[in-house]
A and B are shown apart, each in its own frame.
Chain A
Amino acid sequence: MLSSDCLWSFSSTASVAARSYSHGKQETDEEFDARWVTYFSKPDIDAWELRKGMNTLIGYDLVPEPKILEAALRACRRLNDLASAIRILEAVKDKSGPHKEIYPYVLQELQPTLNELGIPTPEELGIDKA
């Protein structure tokens, strides 16, 4: 999760716990990221799990870290699903909202993976324009 002590001034920096409760240990950002990377890195992940994971992740109030997205893109590769990989990139851009600097950063971090797997960006395909 990209927290505010990095480069952007978000209004809230709190790590995101899956449940909100005042007692108990709060999950740190690193734990959150690690959990999601593990989820997508499952070798025999199936299509439903990929969809469920992505839709849940996009539902959170954050933009996923590049390492989570890399694991998700590799999951798409294992499932032979190029369309979902492109869709994930679109969703990241959409999730950044007004913070226009996030998407180029994420693409920059993901460039080695994109090149390795042969995943085009939505801009390269021209589907980022209506």
Chain B
Amino acid sequence: MLATRLFRLVGNRNLSTSICLRGGHGVAKVEDYTLPAYFDRRESPLPDIKFVQQLSPEQKSLKEKEKGSWATLSKEEKIALYRISFKESFAEMDKGTGEWKSVVAGIFFFIGFTGLVVLWQRKYVYGDVPHTFDPEYKQKEVQRMLDMRINPVEGFSAKWDYENNAWKK
């Protein structure tokens, strides 16, 4: 028991609880995730714990100075006090990451890559198109459509000048 009290003074939480365990009291080890954590959140401006838990000697003396008049603190000291308690200021926690630029770049990259795949496929995978795509065949198709007077009022054949055998200007 005395040993645990000694270790508690030193502030070594885990060691003191493990000593309790060896003492046979069955105290569970305190897991880190069960302890209050520090969060920078807009909706919760004052977190449960200070950001810096172990203070250096300068920080400790600054904390002592904080008990006096704040007007005597210099600007750097005030900033130092802020940084002891908080990790990021509101401006820092709110700023964007610029991640969207990576996302858009990735999108363009993969679209480009897909384009290359499509081109390769056209060359190496697909066979020939049917003969009905040949220019001569296409011409015969057009002639047949004109002979059938397809859409003669406002559409296809309406644009053909049958007198002069040419497309209307």
Interface residues of A (CB under 8 A from B): 50-51, 54-55, 58-59, 77, 80-84, 86-88, 90-91, 93-94, 117-120, 122, 124-130
Contacts and interface: CB of A to CB of B under 8 A. Distances in A.
A13 B112 CA distance: 53
A83 to B, nearest CB: 4
B81 A83 contact: yes
A125 B74 CA distance: 10
Interface string B52-86: 00000000000000110111110100110110111
Interface residues of B, number: 28
Q: For the complex, would chain A's binding face be called helix, strand, loop or mixed by DSSP majority?
A: helix
A94 B44 CA distance: 11
Nearest to A47: B46
B25 interface: no
Interface string B119-150: 00000000000000000000000000000000
A96 to B, nearest CB: 12
Contact of B79 (A54, A80, A127): A127
Nearest to A129: B91
